[in-house]
Structure formats: C-alpha cells, structure tokens
Amino acid sequence: MSATQVVIEAPGAHRVEEHTPREPGPGEALVAVHAVGICGSDREVYQGNRPEGYVRYPLTPGHEWSGTVSAVGAAVPTGLVGRKVVGEGFRNCQVCDRCHAGETTLCSYGYEETGFTQPGAMATTLTLPARLLHPLPDDADLTAAALLEPAACIAAAALKGNARPGERVAVVGTGTLGMFAVQFLRAVSPGELLVVGTRGDREALSRQFGATDFRTKSQELPDDFDVVIETAGSASAARTAASLLRRGGRLVLTGIPAAGADGLDPTDLVVRQLEVHTVFGAPPDAWAHTVRVFAAGLLDPLPLITHELPLTEFPQAIELMGAGDPKVGKVLLRP
C-alpha cells in the first residue's frame, strides 16, 4: 500500500494524498503509525469551530495514536528503533517555569500540539521530538494503545484526585473519558465506585470496568463521596459532580463546557470546603502513569473501540463520530 495522509485544507475541505516521510533531525524520531483515534476535537478541526490559536491550516490531524519507531535522528538513543510507542501531543518549550515544574501543558511560550498546529498522525508516518515518546512493552497491543492519549488526560485527573484504597469514589460521564476514569479509580481499590450518566445503556460497560453502582442523573444521588471525577464536559455535569461530594471532598473537572456556562456556586464550595482541581491535557507524569497502568493490565481500551476504518475513509469516520448513535464508540483509522 502506498504511503498516504489526510490533509484538511480549511474547514470542511480535505484531501487524501501521497505521504512522504520526513527524515528525523537531531532529537527527533520517525514513527510508523499503527492506528490513530478520532475525537471531538478532530471534528472541531474539520468543521472549523476549534478556537482561534488552537489550529493551523492546512493540517494533517491526529493526536491519539500508536506506532513503532523506524528511525531516529542524532542525539537520540538508537535503542528506540523498533520499539512500540505512544507520544505526548503538546510541543512544550522545556525552558519556561511551568515546563521546569513538569506542567508542560501550561507552557508559557504558547500552544503547539501534534495534530492541531503541527502535523499529526493521520498519515503513514509521524516525525516528532523523541523526548515526547513513551515506549511500550514489546507485547503491547498497538490497537488498544492508540487510545492512551485520552487515557493520559484522565490519568492526570486521577493523580490529582489522589483516591486512596477504601475511599468512596464516583465518575460523572460515561463516554470514553468516563470509562477510563472508572478503570483508573478501580485500580486503587475503592470502597465504592459509582458512575453517573445520562445513558442507561452504559451501565453494563461501567460495571465491566469496575463500577459497583450506576445511576442516571434523574435518580436520587448520594452526597457523601470522597472523590469525584467529572468527564462529561457540561456545566450541569460539574454541578452534579460537586453535589456528590461530602464536606471536604475532592472534585476534579476535566470537561470544557461552552463559554459563559453557569458554573459552581462559590458559597457552596467554601462552606463545604471542597477541594477543586482541573485538568487541561496530560503532562509527562500522567503519560508515564498511563503506560505503567496499561502495561500492568489494569487498563483495557479495547471494549471502547467499535469501528476501524482505512485512512481513506476519514470523512465517514467524522460522520460516525457526529451521528449521535449510541452504538458508535471510539473510531480508529488505520494508515
């Protein structure tokens, strides 16, 4: 099969064309892409409603991916060649105060990310800084590993929530991120693990991943949980998540509601002394945590994948993502 890539010329306009691998320069690696996931932000890029400054056209999208290193440039360990890998998306500067603190998603020198402002993985190969790579075990399933980018974002939330064994924990949201949150929380042996969502058809999968209880938002909800992770991306979900907490509980918000949405009640936050954390992307420690948990067999992305299509069917994949069909989970493209 010839080397190909998807290029979005401008909102609503794309082409599939021949791809020429870019040889890795100093500090870089060339990766043969195995699979690339599609998420809502890729749909935003295609439709043209990604916020200004967070996309640069023309663009090869693709920020959720897995692959195998086929070549490295100068000053990169040659032992990486042949390794299965996933990679961070944020192209951080490595010299600002936030980068030195390990908060690379908050880099002070502006936003650059694979698949949004830099060439992404919807291509036969991807060339990127080798420092962004996270090697996987030799026996890793690369199809499953293509979902480790969204998993890493939730790993960041799980680390901030700092759930301890025996604590009562909950997840609000039943999409891909919610199901990863269930798995990360299950791994710390909670005393109770509740999932709250709007779709009753997600109960079986939630329980498969370790939930001990499942409720829809229309049902009576408790208010005595230690840690709650919100993954749904709506203001109402954030308020529901806060309402589940005991006094002094810990809330982690990962969703980005529409601008101007009604937020949490500051009086309630203060009076109940809630500890509120937020997550934007995944810093290196969250990526490393994700790879460890995945390698230990405690994270199983495969049940979330419902469709695998060739790269040439990019528009069909975008349609699937936006159809609202409950039978459509994670969609992967295979170069």
Q: How many Cα atoms within 13 Å fall on the side-chain side of residue 27?
A: 3
Give me the residue label for tokens 């419902």. Answer: 306
Confidence label for 261 from pLDDT (cuts 50, 70 and 90): confident
For the chain, give the mean pLDDT: 96
Residue 324 pLDDT: 80
Residues 6 or more apart whose CB falls under 8 angstroms from that of 173 comprise 181, 196, 197, 230, 231, 232, 233, 237, 255
Runs of H (alpha helix) within 18-120: 40-47, 97-100
pLDDT for position 185: 98
- Angle of helix 284-295 versus helix 148-161 axis, rounded to 10: 110
Decide: pTM greater than 0.85: yes
Compute the average pLDDT of residues 179-199: 97
Phi, psi angle pair for 138, to nearest 5°: -60, -30
| Residue type for position 274 | L
pLDDT greater than 90 at residue 2: no
DSSP letter, residue 59: B
Percent of the chain with pLDDT over 70: 100
Q: What are the Cα distances from residue 305, in Å, to 36, 146, 176, 256, 302?
A: 12, 10, 9, 23, 5
Task: Decide if pLDDT at 1 tops 70.
Answer: no
Confidence at residue 260, expressed as pLDDT on a 0 to 100 scale? 82
DSSP-H helix ranges across 72-133? 97-100
